[in-house]
């Protein structure tokens, strides 16, 4: 615990440096208690619109208007930042944990700690640390993204395979699956935060803080191990060329030509929604391990309901953000519609998390994620320029997956460009 508090304070110091250099200051305090408030909320998760309607019915003094925007990496985050710059941002926005430090460093968030005081106990400690820097709190944690292995049970059964316990077994299965049909592959390329989850499991740390300086480690020894592993699969022609979330990817999952997805809990909703023909074919198993008997897993995704700079009704904004993350009825609906996994421990007994899922052959898939969640290392740190970092990394990874570059070169290039960007923005970088 002491290590985590020290880490949070250090990250706060580094972010504070960026804020000071950017000349950002806190906005005036918003509406007082009991005053009517009208708020706008930007997000994209399925089920959010219905949750807002339920909130408005239960809170006549606060009216929230939900507006759907593109997912963050597809334009939503830039839209939010542009709105903050223009002075017409909504009070509330869905912001991934990985992006929140970048927003904080750019002065795009409001500190709502005065309203959130006492609510920390309602959330998992790792999730709370993702929305707080030092004494500042920038929003309420909504969900977490523990990872597992989604696999096509129909394909596996036809080849007499069982879910792999280790990454060595996974590679052996990749060869077996491709040998059974030249159009069939064990997986497809992973980019940005999906790839980060693979590194996370291996013990890598992309960012850290030394005093008031950022430490960048995308090309660490642990990252090299992950890079070498997937490079080997690519070199042997065992990975599909279909990009994740592309129509070809959904088609491959539906036909069985892409036999597994190493992904976060919310991928269950993606697969169910985009691969309807695969109903009954898919199942979930624990993430493969680097050593037999180990338990660490990665995390991919997870987001907060953040309060954006300029919000005048910060108390009402926190009331909604906290409610969205802790109301049992509303969150149960989010589990059903978006496969979100709660950051609030009190919700882990929701009936929706205990139910058998017909799509996954009647399996109670959340049991797998319930076992995985405690094995996620909470000390992973996201950097302050993640939009730039992931854009550069994805450029290199895309080439590596296509056989036109290497994973090691992608990591090294992204690290060098990230360091340059941090210095360009006036932030200190540890050597």
Q: How many Å apart are CA 116 and CA 318, to the nearest integer?
A: 7
Residues 405-430 have pLDDT tens digits of 999 999 999 999 999 999 999 999 99
Report the pLDDT value the prediction gives residue 225, as an integer from 0 to 100: 97
Does 231 reside within a domain?
yes
| pTM given for the model | 0.88
Does 373 reside within a domain?
no
Assess whether 133 and 60 both reside in one domain: yes
Report the pLDDT value the prediction gives residue 11, as an integer from 0 to 100: 53
Assess whether 313 and 420 both reside in one domain: no
Assess whether 261 and 390 both reside in one domain: yes
Domain, as residue range, for 395: 147-298+380-424
The DSSP annotation for 26-88 comes to PPPP-PPTT--EEEEEEE--TTHHHHHHHHHHH-TTEEEEEEE---GGGTHHHHHHHHHHHT-
- CA-nearest of 82, 178, 46, 116 to 314 is 116
Assess whether 251 and 391 both reside in one domain: yes
Assess whether 252 and 318 both reside in one domain: no
Assess whether 77 and 9 both reside in one domain: yes
Residues 260-286 have pLDDT tens digits of 999 999 999 999 999 999 999 999 999
Query: What's the total number of domains in the chain?
Result: 2
Assess whether 259 and 189 both reside in one domain: yes
Assess whether 126 and 170 both reside in one domain: no
Length reported for the chain:
431
Assess whether 10 and 88 both reside in one domain: yes
Report the pLDDT value the prediction gives residue 431, as an integer from 0 to 100: 81
Assess whether 31 and 93 both reside in one domain: yes
Does 370 reside within a domain?
no
CATH number at residue 220: 3.40.190.10
Does 363 reside within a domain?
no
Assess whether 58 and 28 both reside in one domain: yes
Contact of 338 with 267, CB cutoff 8 Å: no
Assess whether 114 and 200 both reside in one domain: no
Report the pLDDT value the prediction gives residue 8, as an integer from 0 to 100: 44
Residues in contact with 314: Cβ distance below 8 Å, sequence separation at least 6, in sequence order? 29, 30, 31, 91, 110, 112, 114, 115, 307
Tell me which residues of the chain have a pLDDT lower than 50: 1-10, 13, 17-33
């Amino acid at each position: 615990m002491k290590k985590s508090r020290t880490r949070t304070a250090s990250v706060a110091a580094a972010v504070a440096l960026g804020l000071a250099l950017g000349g950002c200051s806190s906005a005036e305090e918003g509406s007082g208690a009991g005053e009517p408030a009208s708020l706008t909320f930007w997000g994209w998760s399925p089920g959010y619109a219905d949750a807002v309607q339920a909130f408005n019915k239960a809170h006549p003094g606060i009216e929230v208007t939900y507006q759907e925007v593109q997912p963050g990496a597809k334009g939503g985050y830039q839209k939010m930042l542009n709105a903050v710059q223009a002075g017409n941002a909504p009070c509330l926005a869905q912001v991934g944990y990985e992006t929140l430090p970048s927003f904080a460093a750019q002065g795009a968030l409001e500190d709502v700690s005065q309203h959130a005081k006492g609510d920390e106990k309602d959330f998992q400690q790792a999730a709370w640390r993702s929305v707080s820097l030092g004494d500042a709190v920038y929003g309420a944690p909504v969900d977490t993204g523990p990872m597992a292995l989604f696999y096509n049970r129909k394909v596996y059964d036809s080849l007499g395979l069982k879910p792999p316990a280790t990454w060595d077994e996974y590679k052996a299965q990749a060869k077996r699956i491709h040998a059974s049909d030249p159009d069939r592959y064990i997986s497809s390329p992973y980019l940005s935060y999906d790839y980060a989850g693979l590194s996370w499991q291996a013990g890598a740390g992309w960012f850290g803080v030394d005093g008031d300086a950022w430490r960048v480690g995308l090309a660490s020894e642990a990252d090299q191990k992950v890079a070498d592993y997937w490079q080997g699969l690519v070199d042997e022609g065992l990975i599909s060329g279909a990009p994740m979330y592309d129509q070809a990817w959904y088609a491959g999952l539906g036909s069985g030509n892409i036999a597994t997805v190493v992904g976060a809990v919310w991928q269950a909703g993606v697969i169910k929604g985009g691969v309807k023909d695969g109903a009954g074919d898919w199942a979930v198993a624990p993430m493969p391990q680097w050593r037999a008997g180990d338990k660490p897993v990665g995390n991919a995704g997870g987001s907060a309901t953040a309060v954006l700079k300029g919000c005048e009704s910060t108390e009402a904004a926190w009331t909604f953000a906290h409610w969205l993350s802790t109301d049992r009825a509303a969150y149960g609906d989010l589990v059903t519609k978006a496969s979100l996994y709660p950051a609030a421990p009190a919700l882990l007994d929701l009936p929706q998390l205990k139910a058998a899922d017909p799509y996954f052959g009647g399996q109670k898939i959340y049991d797998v994620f319930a076992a995985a969640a405690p094995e996620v290392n909470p000390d992973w740190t996201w950097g302050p320029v993640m939009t730039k970092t992931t854009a550069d990394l994805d450029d290199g990874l895309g080439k590596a997956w296509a056989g036109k570059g290497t994973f090691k070169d992608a990591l090294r290039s992204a690290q060098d460009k990230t360091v340059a960007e941090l210095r360009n923005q006036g932030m200190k970088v540890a050597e």
